[in-house]
Each structure stands twice: as C-alpha cells, then as structure tokens.
Amino acid sequence: MLDDFVTRAILAGLMVAVVAGPLGAFMVWRRMAYFGDTVSHSALLGVALGFLLGANLNLLVTLVCVMVAVILVFLQRRQQLASDTLLGILAHSALSLGLVAVAFVEGLRVDLMAYLFGDILAVTRGDLAAIAIGGALALVLLILLWRPLLAITVHEELAQVEGIPVLPVRLGLMLLIALVIASAMQVVGVLLITALMIIPAATARRFARTPEQMALFGAGFGVLAVLGGIWGSFTHDTPTGPSIVVAAMLAFVVLNFLPWPGGRRREGA
Amino acid sequence: MFGATRPVRPLRGPDATPLIQAEGLGLERGGRTILDRVSLSVRSGQVVVVIGPNGAGKTSLLRILLGLWQSSRGRITRARRMRIGYMPQHVQVDPILPLSVRRFLTLRHRAPEARLREQLRRVGVPELLDAPIQTLSGGEMQRVLLARALIGEPDLLVLDEPAQGVDVVGQGEVFDLIDRLRSETGCGVLMVSHELHLVMAAADVVVCINQHVCCTGRPEEVSRHPEYQRLFPDAGVHGIGIYTHHHDHVHDLAGEAKPVNGAGGVADHAR
C-alpha cells in the first residue's frame, strides 16, 4: 500500500495536518504567525547545513529552527527594535542565508522549489517514518504542555505567580514549532508552512467554544485542506503544496465570510 | 519536602509573623533608581495599601514582592508555604481564544464545580460561570479575576489596581468586596492603587511611596502627613475625603472602622 506515491503523500499530509492544526491554534492565540514564518524561513539553512555535514536533514532543520526561535525570543526581550521589524529582518535574512548556503555546497544540485514549496508527491518511506516520528514527538509534547501553555497564553505573569515555569514552557513551545516545521517542510515547503498552521486554526474559531475544540477542529480543517489540495493537484495538475494552502484558504473564506444558513455569529453566551 | 526540620510558623492569628516582609528593597534599571530602601510587611487579616504618584515604583515593588523581578538590594522574607492569590491589573483575552469563565478560573488549579460556583457567588457574579470571558464588562472582569485569585485559598491576596477600569460606583463595591473577603477568609491583602479616597478607607496601613517610602501608617495619619499632601495636593489640606462604607461588623485586628473626623471629610458616594 505504501508503494503508491499518492498514498504516501496523503499519509504524510494527514500526519502533518493533525499536529499543525492544534499548534496553529496556539500560534493564532499568541499572535505568532509572523514568528512562525521567520522560523520556518530559517529551515532552509538547516537543509544546507545538513548537506554540508552529511547529517540527517530533519534533525538539522529541527536544530536550526530551535536555535533561531530561541534567539528570536531573547532578542524580542531586549526590545530595542519593534517585534515586527526584528522579525522582518530575520525572516528574509534567514531565507537568503539559506539560499546562499545551499549555493555554497559544492556539487549539490538541489531542487530548491521542492524545499520552498514542498514536494509531497516525492515523499519516500524513509521520509514518512521521519514525519511520523517528528509528528508523534510534537503531539506528545503538545499534550504535555497544553495546560501550562494555555495558562501563559492568557496571562504570563499570573501564570508565573501561580507557579508555572514560564521559561521552560516557552522553550518547549519553540521545540514544538521547530519539530512541526521540520515535518511539514516536505509537505508544503518552508514558505507555506505557517499557512498550514494558521489558516485551519483560524477557520475553526467560529465553531469552537473551548480551546480544545478549536485545536481539534483546526486539525480537522487541516486534514480537509490536505485531502482537497492533493485531489485538486491530481485532477488539475497543479503544484501540490500551494494547492493544499489554496484549499485551506477556500474553506476559511467559505466558512467565515459567506452567508451561512442559520449561521449568524454567536454573540455572548 | 514535608519532613521539614523547622517548625511551621502559624500563618494566621494575631501574633503570626508577617506573611511577607520586605526590608530595604532597592531597584535600579538602566542607571535609574526605581526603588530605594523600601520596607513593608503584611500580616494575616491586614490590608496594606501602597499608594504613590505615577512612576513612583508601585508596580515595580509589587513585581518584586511577587517574585517576578529581582531586586537590586534588600531582602524578602515570606512565611513558609504561603499561598499567594494574585490579581493583575489588566487581563484582556483576545476574542480569537474561545475561553469561558469556567476555563479561565481553572487554568492553573482544577477545582470542582461547586467550588467555582462558591467563589463566583462570593464575588457577586454567580451567573457568569459559562459566559465567554470576552463578553464581561470591566467590573465583571475584576470580580472574576478576584475569584480566580481566591480559588487557591490564598494566605495573601496581592491586588494591582483592583478597581482599574471600573466606574466610581463599581469601585466602591470592589473595595467593599475586598474588605469583606479579608474578614471572611482572614487573609492578608496587599494592594496598589491610586484611587486615593476609596482605597484609603479600606486600608489598615497605607504605605505612600515615591521611590522611597514617604510615609506610612494608618490612613488618617498618612493623609495628614506633609509628604503625602505634597505628593497629592488635590487631596486637600483638611485630610482626605475618606469613603466610609457601611460596616455591619467590627474587625478584630488592626482594621478599626472609625468614623472620619472633620466636616467635608466624608465623601458621599452614590451607591
């Protein structure tokens, strides 16, 4: 069954969507969309380093993403520059550094498009295993961190006074983001990863009454986007990664902006 | 952890050691002195209010006492196993996060439904348990924050501007509520405020700071202090219009609810 490349693609996409949705909810709540973008742009640097050192790509991408995320958190604390300026500088510098680094790797002919926009149809059994491991780790970490993360998202100082170890929890979130980026890179590519996290979660908001519902529905909409995108890509011969994002976007628009029978916006309780 | 060699000091009772005691706290940030030799202590059943003009270091002091910041100098002694209930100044939950009051109250400590209802009833908003937190008014939010601070059965309540964003009528109610909670639970209360006349009526001890401690004492003493009158000229020279609330009981500790002397002293607040 795993011999079929479409099956592998679907499996890879589903595994990523199931983690990206719930994590995306946190990124939406914590206003980290641009942060996620910056970190995922730096993933390309991890790819280049992986080729240079001949090491496991997923591992290096995860490492580089964690490092960039931690550096970002500390730079943001110093608050010399506005947060969006800092992210704007780093997002594009990281991407460009990655592109330059890839060019430096001698004798390497990388299909850059595959890393930038994903190449889900080329997922091998080995990739599938890597995605499964990374995704499972991320899911476990997310479940363990769920309550403290929610507490610091609502009010960080209150959480700290109440005894939540804020810094470790935040570092855990960075690791989580890095793991998901490393897993999702092959599915939608470094430029589109954030979309797969943010759009399904944002779509889910309207239907959710609790944080957990929003996370679960986010995973659900992510799954639909992956299936829709792969189907669209197959039937219309379009690039798969962008097709997945387009599918997610369509679901968001249809479910949030089109008039909905009896779907008046909930006001109050 | 529980086989402690030192005896556990009593947390409650008139001769209890202070719940929290700060001595000679100093804080410098970027070469500026924020706090200079600030000392204060809070005992069980006591309401201590820190007042001061903007930029006096009130919030910095609170952050140090809560352990959120490190002081540059001085030391803090806390009673052993003291539980702090903290009510931050401003909590605003983004509408993108679906969160009911129930979830908000149990973010840190899971608690049975009956307990949640009891705390909400205590602060006067029992009907809000399942309301989305974004739909609360300013006064309701303050009450819910207070309820959350109470869930962990604190020995010390720390309140940062508890009446912020509440209209005058609501402010009187908030301070009445704090006063009542203090007598019901016997906890100590430390609060920062600049709602002078309202907060001073609720206080047992007022600490007036402007980087350093300008004056400290019972509200009526502080309001007559020249340093205080220099810092708050608007408060008038014939003492402050202390807002007296309607006590149906007398406090056994330092919280005597004395009538205010002098004409014009009693502000008549519409309730």
Q: What is the DSSP letter of B132?
A: B
ipTM comes to 0.85
In whole angstroms, what is the distance from residue A27 CA to residue A222 CA?
A: 15
Per-residue model confidence (pLDDT) at position A176: 93
pTM of the model: 0.82
State the CB neighbour count (10 A cutoff) for residue B44.
24
Cα angle for residues A263, A194, A66 (degrees, 5° grid)? 140
Label residue B57 left, alpha or beta by phi (over 0 means left) and psi (-120 to 50 means alpha).
left
In whole angstroms, what is the distance from residue B78 CA to residue B65 CA?
A: 9
Interface residue B96 vs chain A (CB under 8 A)? yes
Q: Where are the domains of chain B?
A: 93-153
pLDDT in tens, A71-102: 888 887 776 778 888 888 888 898 899 888 88
- Residue B240: band (very low, low, confident or very high) from pLDDT cuts 50, 70, 90: very low
Contact flag A161-B104 (C-beta cutoff 8 Å): no
Contact flag A161-B68 (C-beta cutoff 8 Å): yes
pLDDT in tens, A168-213: 999 899 889 989 998 888 888 888 999 999 999 999 999 999 999 9
Mutate to test the interface with A, among B70, B84, B90, B107 (most CBs of A within 10 A): B107
pLDDT in tens, A204-224: 999 999 999 999 999 999 999
Q: Which residues pair with B32 in a beta bridge?
A: B29
Mean pLDDT computed over A142-157? 95
Q: Which residues pair with B51 in a beta bridge?
A: B208
Containing B205, the helix (H) or strand (E) segment is: strand B205-210
Task: Write phi, then psi, for B254 (nearest 5 degrees).
Answer: -80, 0
Residues in chain B: 271
- Residue B4: band (very low, low, confident or very high) from pLDDT cuts 50, 70, 90: very low
Mean pLDDT computed over A102-116? 78
Structure tokens of A245? 């994002």
* Percentage of chain A exceeding pLDDT 90: 51
Mean pLDDT computed over B29-45? 90
Closest CA to A40 of A182, A135, A138, A174: A182
In whole angstroms, what is the distance from residue A31 CA to residue A151 CA?
A: 15
Contacts of B88 in chain A (CB under 8 A): 155, 157-158
Taking a C-beta distance cutoff of 8 angstroms, is the pair A184, A15 a contact? no
Beta strands in chain B (DSSP E): 20-29, 32-42, 47-51, 73-78, 84-87, 156-160, 188-192, 205-210, 212-217
In whole angstroms, what is the distance from residue B159 CA to residue B178 CA?
A: 10
Per-residue model confidence (pLDDT) at position A266: 46
